[in-house]
Structure 1
Amino acid sequence: MTITNNGGALSTRVDIAIRGIRVAAPVHREGGAGPSDDGHVLFQGMQSAIPVNQDSPYLVDDGKLLLDGEDTGLEVSPVSRPAFYDLATADGTPYEQIARLHGAKVLATTVVQTCIRYAEIERCRFCSIEESLASGATIAVKTPAMIAEVAEAAWRLDGIEQMVMTTGTSNGRDRGATHLARCVRAIKAAVPDLMIQVQCEPPADLQTITDLYEAGARSIGIHVESMDDDVRRHWMPGKSRVPLDEYRAAWREAVRVFGRNQVSTYLLVGMGEDPDQLVAGAQELIDMGVYPFVVPFRPIRGTLATDVDRVPAPPRSVLHDVTLRVSQALIAAGMRGSDQKAGCAACGACSALQTAGG
């Protein structure tokens, strides 16, 4: 059995996003604010974050992806452990607790690992941002100086090409963006050529978006996860109190400041939203110049959706259909994730959109 066409590659990429792979992955992520419990690999040369599942029929062997022992014709290789993981700050904090490698060339950090919405009645049901803090995998607050120190080392030793910086939501009107801006300035002082994406909720004062750009960020993620208010109220009871119109205003301002296709938002497949509505929401975003980063919901330990609701991953057919249609809309609009200067869409590891050409 050999798969050689793009359609076959997309079908397999979607399949392994749901069923996982058997692979020894030196770079992986467990817990956190977004898709996790993944091993980082190169799938046909593209950065990919795939669930590691020892019961999967897919096996990575000597750079090849096998299905039930048969060669699929697709190349998959694990990302190597970066050299900066072996270092620590002067006070003994391991660099790996400050920032992590995502994919092969992306450095990522959550600058504040706590969130005002983490009480169970408020929490996003797919999120485990504070679980990695509780396990000791990270620290609560990363200072601008320590993040800049790690970024410089990762740039020098491992050749990272971009950085993603997110934050738990704070009580302030900026919703955490002010600390992000301080961190961006410190990183740009240490590594001027490093491209940075920042991620936050829509700030109450839209001037904050310009502040992030002037600090040195060149892409921004303002993540809504769903454009359906009923889905939002169930899955994100606290976050859903930020009206969609506030998101739309923030996206429009972000496009004005950062430029078309330098703004993105997550859309999660598998939260009960009608696929046609999801694709229509993605088209609305594309029309605004915002990249809809389509990612499957994945059952992750430590989240309410998994530990309480027992929500499964979406059907492969639904994920394939939505990914294909959204990628076609992106292609028609001339928007590709790889054209973003930094961030989740530029990396592409958590989605199959780049495999589909989006």
Structure 2
Amino acid sequence: MTPAIPLAADSPERVSTRVNIALLGVRSDAPVRRTGGAGPSDDGHFVVDGDGAAIPLNPDSPYVVTSRGRLTLDGADLGLDVSPVIRPRFYDLVTADGVSYDKIAKLHGKDVLATTVVQTCVRYDESERCRFCAIEASLDAGTTVAVKTPAMLAEVAEAAVRLDGVTQMVMTTGTSNGWDRGAKHLARCVKAVKAAAPGLGVQVQCEPPADLRAIADLYEAGARSIGIHVESMDDEVRRRWMPGKSRVSMDDYRSAWREAVRVFGWNQVSTYLIVGMGEDPDELVEGARELIEMGVYPFVVPFRPLKGTLATDVDHVPAPHRAVLNRVTGRVAALLQAAGMRGEDQSAGCAACGACSVLKTAGA
């Protein structure tokens, strides 16, 4: 038997391995996975040394999850315990109207309930659409419903907590035409969920609302962390990848982040930064530095091909090189550590879960 390679929790080897499997995937079955939707990936959900991880399922990957729950590379045990997340019991339930609970919300990672409260977006026309997003693909496939009502979400959240030990919930939304850009419906949903499951931590995600008072409304409804996702701080990249969304200026994003930090607090606000869209890695890291100085957690994730997106189906954009992701992740993690900012200190949400990024493995 090949001896295991011992890896400390924050060792460079462990970080490199997580980068590799984030991009190359693993050979394994995964009872819990998601396809299509707003992203960031078509992945299976696993637990890697106790932490949730979203990992592509790739039959050609050199990495294998064995039946004993170990990660191997070409037969060598890499010293990591890896096991698929089991199918949650709440998936077997339906509402009184006959809607399956798993069409209302999904399990992400090991203990996160996630939902898109409005599965349509005013920017989904091809000329406006974010090229990494497939928010309406799952709707077209019949695997979700267009609008989740507050009552629906409260019912599912209560069951997920009671039956499966879910500890946090993420609520995102497609963008609406209104001044609130979807925040008003999000607030109604948060209020209902918190009434049904008071101990459940909730993160909300939306574009910067035209009236920043909507941010306080989300907090007053019961959300305790918020994601306002820019994906790139490079205007040229934004225009190329997000033609509609890029018309929301970086000044508007900065105003929304500052207000969100004022309302939700330091390190309770986050934004996605995607590696692999053509942004200069050094500039991406400098953007992360600016965010950290504002009190905003830069949730760095790799671009990964997602079926149903323009980037995948039309542009055929590959995932970034492993060395680039490794270097950017390490540098941003070092900045976060220096600031004393950890994703797991957020009340709920993507940074708190960490499954789609390697930052948590890197100590941030």
TM-score of the alignment, normalized to the shorter chain, above 0.5: yes
1:3/1:9 contact within 8 Å kept: no
2:201/2:224 contact within 8 Å kept: yes
- What is the aligned counterpart of 1:327 among 333, 339, 357? 333
- After the TM superposition, list the runs of 4 or more consecutive aligned residues in structure 1 that deviate by more than 6 angstroms: none
2:187/2:217 contact within 8 Å kept: yes
1:42/1:103 contact within 8 Å kept: yes
Confirm whether residue 155 of structure 1 aligns to residue 161 of structure 2.
Answer: yes
1:163-242 equivalences in 2 (<5 Å): 163-242=169-248
- The superposition leaves residues 126-175 of structure 1 with CA deviations (integer Å, 9 ceiling, x where unpaired) of 00000010001101000000000000000000010000000000000000
Q: TM-score, normalised by structure 2?
A: 0.98
2:65/2:83 contact within 8 Å kept: yes
Q: Distance in 1 between matches of 2:79 and 2:160?
A: 33
Q: Distance in 2 between matches of 1:32 and 1:271?
A: 19
1:136-155 equivalences in 2 (<5 Å): 136-155=142-161
1:58-137 equivalences in 2 (<5 Å): 58-61=63-66, 62-137=68-143
Q: How far did 1:318 drift?
A: 0.2
Secondary structure of the structure 2 residue equivalent to 1:246: helix
1:218/1:262 contact within 8 Å kept: yes
Confirm whether residue 2 of structure 1 aligns to residue 5 of structure 2.
Answer: yes
Q: TM-score, normalised by structure 1?
A: 0.99
Q: Distance in 2 between matches of 1:88 and 1:241?
A: 40
RMSD: 0.6
Q: Which moved more, 1:212-221 or 1:22-31?
A: 22-31
- The superposition leaves residues 75-107 of structure 1 with CA deviations (integer Å, 9 ceiling, x where unpaired) of 111111000000000011000000000011000
Match of 2:354 in 1: 348
Confirm whether residue 295 of structure 1 aligns to residue 298 of structure 2.
Answer: no
- What is the aligned counterpart of 2:345 among 339, 342, 346? 339
Q: How far did 1:36 drift?
A: 2.2
1:272-291 equivalences in 2 (<5 Å): 272-291=278-297
Match of 1:14 in 2: 19
Q: Distance in 1 between matches of 2:14 and 2:362?
A: 8
1:31/1:131 contact within 8 Å kept: yes
* 1:14 alignment partner AA: V
2:41/2:305 contact within 8 Å kept: no
Identity %: 73
Match of 2:58 in 1: 53
Match of 1:24 in 2: 29
Q: Distance in 1 between matches of 2:74 and 2:119?
A: 40
2:39/2:306 contact within 8 Å kept: no
Q: How far did 1:262 drift?
A: 0.1
Q: How far did 1:68 drift?
A: 1.1
Q: How far did 1:35 drift?
A: 1.3
Confirm whether residue 40 of structure 1 aligns to residue 38 of structure 2.
Answer: no
Q: How far did 1:2 drift?
A: 1.3
Q: How far did 1:350 drift?
A: 0.2
Q: Distance in 2 between matches of 1:305 and 1:68?
A: 31
Secondary structure of the structure 2 residue equivalent to 1:295: strand
- The superposition leaves residues 40-92 of structure 1 with CA deviations (integer Å, 9 ceiling, x where unpaired) of 00112111000010110001011100111111111111111000000000011
Q: Distance in 2 between matches of 1:291 and 1:57?
A: 33
* 2:281 alignment partner AA: P
* 1:70 alignment partner AA: A
- The superposition leaves residues 288-314 of structure 1 with CA deviations (integer Å, 9 ceiling, x where unpaired) of 000000000001111000111110000
Number of residue equivalences: 358
Q: Distance in 2 between matches of 1:344 and 1:164?
A: 8
Q: Distance in 2 between matches of 1:339 and 1:109?
A: 22
Q: How far did 1:206 drift?
A: 0.4
Confirm whether residue 257 of structure 1 aligns to residue 260 of structure 2.
Answer: no
Stretches of structure 1 that go unaligned for 5 or more consecutive residues are none
Secondary structure of the structure 2 residue equivalent to 1:28: coil
Stretches of structure 2 that go unaligned for 5 or more consecutive residues are none
* 2:347 alignment partner AA: K
Q: Which moved more, 1:67-76 or 1:94-103?
A: 67-76
* 2:215 alignment partner AA: I
